[in-house]
Structure 1
Amino acid sequence: MGAKSVPECWRRLAACLVVWAAAAGAEPAPEHLHFIVPGGAGGGWDRTARVTGDVLVKGGLLQSASFENLSGGGSGKAIGYLIKTAERQHGTLLVNSVPIIVRSISGVFPFSFRDLTPIASVIGDYGVIAVLPDSPYQTIDQLLAAFLRDPLQVRIGGGSVRGDLDHIVAALAIRALGADPRKLIYVPYDTGGKAVVGLLTGEIQVLSTGLGEALEQRRAGQMRILAVTAPERLSVLPQVPALSEYGENAVFANWRGFFGPPQLPAALADRYAKLLQEMQALPGWEAALERNGWVNFYRPRGEFAVFLEEQEALIAALRKELGFY
């Protein structure tokens, strides 16, 4: 059976069977997983969930996977739904990333990662600054010069709200180049896909996004990447400078990982974490990392929970430093 939609009744039955087996002390390989994506199609969350499901199915670790996009409220709609329906979501994983921390500490929604069951982080996705191929800004230095002349004329957008992930990447870039990030005009979009459309239609001149989202557009000849927030130049983009070449504090990677519903049985949460660990050894996963420009960032349940606590403190300090408070 391939990765496809599965009727709700069958999905619930499969989840119940897995829970029963886990309670009985067995460690079954789940036949099906349902992935909730808290954003629209084509964004980083969507790509991460669908690639994960596809690799698990093709690698023989799952029989099938299904996907549900629940965009709205800065991912608050999807998180609220998972919490509200937790009892029947034992076969469901929610994908999320840095925004679950940013939007919690900034009050965008009343939830935090503590209201869910952290399963594991899987990838890291560096941020990029990108433009259209025929943009007047063909290098990051040309973009800086334009920003210094008149910040109001350089509209930078991203697929997150003000003060969130893509805004942080844009502000880090401006700061690394020696300019004042508080003068940045940031245009927020609900999803990364909508931000790409904004660039293609001319609503914004510059896009702040994840490398995985930008690479596909670049390969299609629709986007030019000016810089990346990696510690050094990447093998997939050897000609693109890393912002660390301009400023020592310009390294930033957006982790992405999976969460279960609250009060998910520990045995089942451990099984899902092990499933994602087993995925790391699949050739299809290695190919996906290379294709999307991702770095492997697997952290199982306990490590992931500690990492989330550390990220919360670091991001709060970074937002304050960049003038988001």
Structure 2
Amino acid sequence: MENTLNSFQPEKLRKYLATGVSMAVLAAIPFSAGAQDDWPTDTIEVVSHASAGGGTDTTIRMWLEGAREQVDEDVRVVYKLGGGARLAHEYMVQRGPDCHTIMALTQTHLYTIARGNSPIEIDDIQGVARAMSDPSVIVVSSNSPLESYEEVLESSRDQALTWGVTSIGSTAHIGISRWSEAADAEARVVPFGGDGDTLTALRSGAVDITVANASEALDQINEGVFRPLAVLSPERLEDLPNVPSTYEHGHEISVNTTRGYYVHADTSTECVSSIEEFILTGMESERFHNYLSSAGLNPERNIAGAEIWDTQIKEEYQVALKALRKLEMTDR
């Protein structure tokens, strides 16, 4: 087979991803090892702060097969669980900018750093690739008396609705806090420990309302179990075209569950480019596209390279830090 590993330009891929060019076009562009032609020279580790079988782990494995085919060295997933990603951060510090340690990221990492519970700071992170940005939907049970976003606003000004969340300080909790301030609404959060338990509580009527990932709630919305009332996103979602965005009411609060990857900020530019290409090539696979599409996520809008993703990480950190200050959950 002809070796095409030296003809790809990483800057071109970042440009295509930033401008939404069809991924079918990207599929025709061969992978290269970027500016560092001999990368990798050791086992590549993809480090997860979350346990095997969960969303973070599944997302890794959906692109890893396609990426693994491009390199000769071994590639393995390493689990560093505990402390809200603190143990994963400690492992990154231990490994240093070694060009072979890739860290999986969700907002949990940002909250832990913002609360001062991590050995690293936000500037110690260099984003390399985004896998998904899953918008949130405000949902109620199908038997709820609340039938519109306007009714949520009206009810929330009379008294606080109870909102189910996985935990205090979670993405949903912070998002609800930001939304309630923007909408001048009252909200009382009730933690349940997990997404499944939160949705079960909503179905049973233990809470009035919740914020759910669009990908996780879509099937139950289509089945009539949940009623979507608004999306916390600048625009309406393709899969829920009749559900308004909170932005349409002047409540410009975007709440997303994002998954992506980063490396130590002192990693060389050449290594960053190589790792970026390695991951993005895996994400070009049919398997990964099908994974996103089955969750109602458009691959072209979700997958992004280092420049876009690193900027987003830093922006989301500042949003999280501001929200945690208002909740008096950090002294930073």
Report the Cα distance in structure 2 between the residues aligned to 1:168 and 1:234, rounded to whole angstroms: 22
Is contact 2:233-2:245 (8 Å) kept?
yes
1:271-286 to structure 2, matched below 5 A, reads 271-286=274-289
Match of 2:50 among 35, 39, 53: 39
Deviation for aligned residue 1:35: 3.8
Q: What's the counterpart of residue 125 of structure 1?
A: 134
Question: Are the structure 2 counterparts of residues 135 and 257 from structure 1 closer, same or farther at C-alpha, using a change threshold of 3 Å?
Answer: same
Is contact 1:42-1:192 (8 Å) kept?
no
Query: C-alpha deviations, 1:53-88, integer Å up to 9, x for none?
Result: 36656xx5579975555543222233334434x279
Deviates more, 1:165-174 or 1:45-54: 45-54
Question: Are the structure 2 counterparts of residues 179 and 30 from structure 1 closer, same or farther at C-alpha, using a change threshold of 3 Å?
Answer: farther
Question: Are the structure 2 counterparts of residues 241 and 78 from structure 1 closer, same or farther at C-alpha, using a change threshold of 3 Å?
Answer: same
Is contact 1:128-1:227 (8 Å) kept?
yes
Query: C-alpha deviations, 1:272-317, integer Å up to 9, x for none?
Result: 2112233454444443333223353444345544443344334434
What secondary structure, in the 3-state scheme, does the structure 2 residue paired with 1:102 have? helix
Number of equivalenced pairs: 292
Aligned Cα RMSD in Å? 3.9
Q: What's the counterpart of residue 313 of structure 2?
A: 308
Q: What's the counterpart of residue 179 of structure 1?
A: 184
Report the Cα distance in structure 1 between the residues aligned to 2:71 and 2:159, rounded to whole angstroms: 53
Match of 2:166 among 156, 159, 162: 159
Question: Are the structure 2 counterparts of residues 173 and 44 from structure 1 closer, same or farther at C-alpha, using a change threshold of 3 Å?
Answer: farther
Structure 2 unmatched ranges of 5 or more? 1-32
Report the Cα distance in structure 1 between the residues aligned to 2:45 and 2:220, rounded to whole angstroms: 28
1:136-151 to structure 2, matched below 5 A, reads 136-151=145-160
Report the Cα distance in structure 1 between the residues aligned to 2:145 and 2:215, rounded to whole angstroms: 24
TM-score, length-normalised on structure 2?
0.69
Is contact 2:89-2:118 (8 Å) kept?
no
2:228 counterpart letter in structure 1: I
Q: What's the counterpart of residue 100 of structure 1?
A: 109
Q: What's the counterpart of residue 207 of structure 1?
A: 210
Report the Cα distance in structure 2 between the residues aligned to 1:198 and 1:68, rounded to whole angstroms: 33
Structure 1 unmatched ranges of 5 or more? 1-21
**Sequence identity (%):** 21
Q: What's the counterpart of residue 75 of structure 1?
A: 85
2:86 counterpart letter in structure 1: G
Q: What's the counterpart of residue 293 of structure 1?
A: 296
1:259 aligns with 2:262: yes
Question: Are the structure 2 counterparts of residues 195 and 33 from structure 1 closer, same or farther at C-alpha, using a change threshold of 3 Å?
Answer: farther
Is contact 2:64-2:279 (8 Å) kept?
no
TM-score, length-normalised on structure 1?
0.70
Deviation for aligned residue 1:249: 1.6
Query: C-alpha deviations, 1:74-130, integer Å up to 9, x for none?
Result: 22233334434x279865533213332233223344433444553222322212222
Report the Cα distance in structure 2 between the residues aligned to 1:196 and 1:31, rounded to whole angstroms: 43
Match of 1:236 among 227, 236, 239: 239
Report the Cα distance in structure 2 between the residues aligned to 1:95 and 1:220, rounded to whole angstroms: 32
Question: Are the structure 2 counterparts of residues 305 and 107 from structure 1 closer, same or farther at C-alpha, using a change threshold of 3 Å?
Answer: same
Report the Cα distance in structure 1 between the residues aligned to 2:117 and 2:180, rounded to whole angstroms: 25
Report the Cα distance in structure 2 between the residues aligned to 1:172 and 1:146, rounded to whole angstroms: 18
What secondary structure, in the 3-state scheme, does the structure 2 residue paired with 1:134 have? coil
Query: C-alpha deviations, 1:162-219, integer Å up to 9, x for none?
Result: 3x4212322344345x333xx4212345554453454456553322232223224435
What secondary structure, in the 3-state scheme, does the structure 2 residue paired with 1:236 have? coil
Q: What's the counterpart of residue 17 of structure 1?
A: none
1:157 counterpart letter in structure 2: G
Report the Cα distance in structure 2 between the residues aligned to 1:56 and 1:146, rounded to whole angstroms: 50
Kindly indicate whether structure 1 or structure 2 has the higher relative contact order, using CA contacts under 8 Å at least 6 residues apart. 2
2:273 counterpart letter in structure 1: D
Deviation for aligned residue 1:258: 0.6
